[in-house]
Chain A
């Protein structure tokens, strides 16, 4: 079993829909990262959170430390949100362990 599990693996939605991506982890952590990877390969850090909720524009990330679960939400989704979203947690000397990624496609 992977230490970090994401769901769904693939998600297709229509523009304007509310999107939720989930991430569960099996070990104690100090923080969790949400990352965005575009087709060119570059990765952008969206959030680092250790408790509660963070919001940036149309993106919201929440974490429940007790339940070892985090969610990434996108409100009013847009085709430019199409990307792979990855959650990652630091383990073992601060090395990051990654979920499998969620490939999001937003159709106009």
Chain B
């Protein structure tokens, strides 16, 4: 199993600012995923973070709003840019393929 450390665990941010979330895995993994979970909802995939190339975004998510970095096989960041209250959610990273290991989540509140 993989151990995933995600930080920050929570933050309260002003609208218009950006927050970068970090995800560190204790072993090399092929695929890393970023999810958003809006209040009362299930998880929605934002993008797949690919090592050495641009992330692959799901429909409804764009790089300008959610830039992702994947500098190596154990680390990735997700930035939530130009935040609005609608971005208040839990953001989670996970690893793959085929696994279901998640970071602890980042609970973001935008005020």
A100 touches B33 (CB 8 A): no
B100 touches A33 (CB 8 A): yes
Per-residue interface assignment for chain A, residues 30 to 66, with 1 indicating a CB less than 8 Å from any chain B CB and 0 otherwise: 1101010000111111001000000000000000000
Chain A contributes a number of interface residues (CB within 8 A of B) equal to 22
Question: In the assembled complex, which residues on chain A have CB atoms less than 8 Å from the CB atom of B42?
Answer: 86, 98-101
Name the interface size band of chain B.
Answer: 20 to 34
Question: In the assembled complex, which residues on chain A have CB atoms less than 8 Å from the CB atom of B97?
Answer: 90, 93-94
Residue B98, interface by CB 8 Å: yes
A94 touches B98 (CB 8 A): yes
A93 to B48: give the CA distance in the assembly, Å. Answer: 10
Cβ 8 A contact of B92, one of A31, A41, A99: A41
Closest to A100 in B: B42
Question: In the assembled complex, which residues on chain A have CB atoms less than 8 Å from the CB atom of B105?
Answer: 40-43
Per-residue interface assignment for chain B, residues 77 to 111, with 1 indicating a CB less than 8 Å from any chain A CB and 0 otherwise: 00000000000001010101111111111110000
Residue B43, interface by CB 8 Å: yes
A42 to B94: give the CA distance in the assembly, Å. Answer: 11
Per-residue interface assignment for chain A, residues 83 to 94, with 1 indicating a CB less than 8 Å from any chain B CB and 0 otherwise: 000101010011
Cβ 8 A contact of A42, one of B31, B43, B104: B104
Cβ 8 A contact of A95, one of B48, B92, B103, B104: B48
A41 touches B107 (CB 8 A): yes
Taking the closest CB of chain B, its distance from the CB of A17, in whole angstroms, is: 25
A92 to B46: give the CA distance in the assembly, Å. Answer: 15
Residue A76, interface by CB 8 Å: no
Question: In the assembled complex, which residues on chain B have CB atoms less than 8 Å from the CB atom of A95?
Answer: 33, 45, 48, 96
Known: A44-B102, A96-B33, A99-B42. 20 other contacts (CB 8 A): A35-B102, A40-B9, A40-B107, A41-B37, A41-B90, A41-B105, A41-B106, A42-B103, A43-B102, A45-B100, A48-B99, A86-B42, A90-B96, A94-B31, A94-B98, A96-B43, A96-B96, A96-B100, A100-B42, A101-B42
Q: Which residues on B are within 8 Å of A, measured CB to CB?
A: 1, 9, 31, 33, 37, 42-43, 45, 48, 90, 92, 94, 96-107
